[in-house]
Amino acid sequence: MTKILMQDKNTRKRSRKVLGAIIVVVFCLLAAIYVVVEKSGKWLVVNDEFEHATWAVILDGQSANMERNDYVADLKAQGKVDSVLILGRRVYRDKSNVDFYAEDFMRLGKFNPATIFLVRHDDPSTLSEACTIIPWLKKHKADTVLLVTAAPATRRAKRIFETLSGDSPVYVTADIGYKQQYIADAWIFNRESRKSWLREWFALAHSYLDLAGAYPLSESDSTYFSKIRSIAEEEKDEPVIDLFNLQKSEEKPEKELPRDTVAAPAPAGDSAQATSSSQASTNNLK
Give the torsion through C-alpha atoms of 215, 216, 219, 222, to 10 deg.
60
Q: How far apart, in whole angstroms, are the C-alpha atoms of residue 48 and residue 147?
A: 11
| 101, containing H or E segment | helix 97-107
Closest CA to 154 of 68, 66, 63: 68
Its pTM stands at 0.73
Is it true that the peptide bond before 169 is cis, omega within 30 degrees of 0? yes
Measured CA to CA, the distance from residue 128 to residue 237 in angstroms comes to 28
Q: Where are the domains of the chain?
A: 53-236
Q: Residue-wise pLDDT tens for the chain (286 aa)?
A: 555 555 555 666 677 777 788 888 888 888 777 777 778 889 999 999 999 999 999 999 998 899 999 999 999 999 999 999 999 998 888 889 999 999 999 999 999 999 999 999 888 899 999 999 999 999 999 999 999 999 999 999 999 999 999 988 999 999 988 777 888 888 888 898 999 999 999 999 999 999 998 889 988 887 665 689 999 998 887 655 455 555 655 565 555 545 555 555 555 555 445 455 555 444 444 4
240 CB neighbour count, 10 Å cutoff = 10
Q: Is the dihedral of CA 224, 159, 219, 232 positive or negative?
A: positive
What homologous superfamily is domain 53-236 in, according to CATH? HUPs (3.40.50.620)
Angle at 61 between CA 190 and CA 224, to 5 degrees: 150
Bridge partners of 116?
84
Q: How far apart are CA 237 and CA 231, in angstroms?
A: 10
* Burial (0-12, 13-18, 19+ Cβ within 10 Å), 244: exposed
Amino acid making up residue 77:
A
**Pick from 280, 53, 279: nearest CA to 172:** 53
